[in-house]
Amino acid sequence: MGLKGTLPKWTLLSIMKHFTDSITLHTFVEGTERRTEAQTDYCEIRLDGPDMAEGSKGTFVSNCTVQTLVVTKIDLTNPTKHIENIQQVNEAFANCILLYNGTTEVGMLQLNNKEGINIENLGQIDQSLDILQANIVGDYKVIINE
């Protein structure tokens, strides 16, 4: 299977590694089994894409959207904790994320526009739960020569 067939897997793994190395919040990938009962604050990552198009023979262009859900347990002794968690995840949206195929670096995901990161502080969505939530989204592009 060529790079085109494995790119979605390696894109997700590269992004997951980057975010877990960049933030101190416990991090999950959407769709994996996770136990949040013991976690007061955490980040969940979701990847839309990557879509792939062959630009020229052996050159692929790929776009993906990284979505993060930041969850913070309400702490009346630290009213800025949620904003600090949001900022920490926002800063992890680096301009460049190295893309690996196993242990081999094959490219670099480039943030389309740092100002284009969208932060939605959703607050306390369910009044019966003592958690605050925020959604942070950024778009990345990679060009790979196979």
Range 3-145: architecture per CATH: 2-Layer Sandwich (3.30)
Contacts of 28 (CB under 8 A, 6+ apart): 34, 36, 42, 43, 44, 45
Three-state secondary-structure class, residue 85: helix
CA angle 36, 38, 40 (to 5 degrees): 80
Of 56, 31, 25, nearest to 144 by C-alpha is 56
List the chain pLDDT tens, one digit each, 146 residues.
566 677 778 888 888 889 989 999 988 887 777 666 677 899 999 988 888 777 777 777 888 899 999 999 999 999 999 999 999 999 999 989 998 888 888 888 999 876 679 999 999 999 999 999 999 999 998 877 76
Helix H or strand E encompassing 4:
helix 3-22
Between strands 26-29 and 104-111, the pairing is unpaired
Q: What is the pLDDT of residue 103?
A: 84
**Which token pair is 71?**
């969850």
Q: Give the separation between CA 94 and CA 88, rounded to whole angstroms.
A: 11
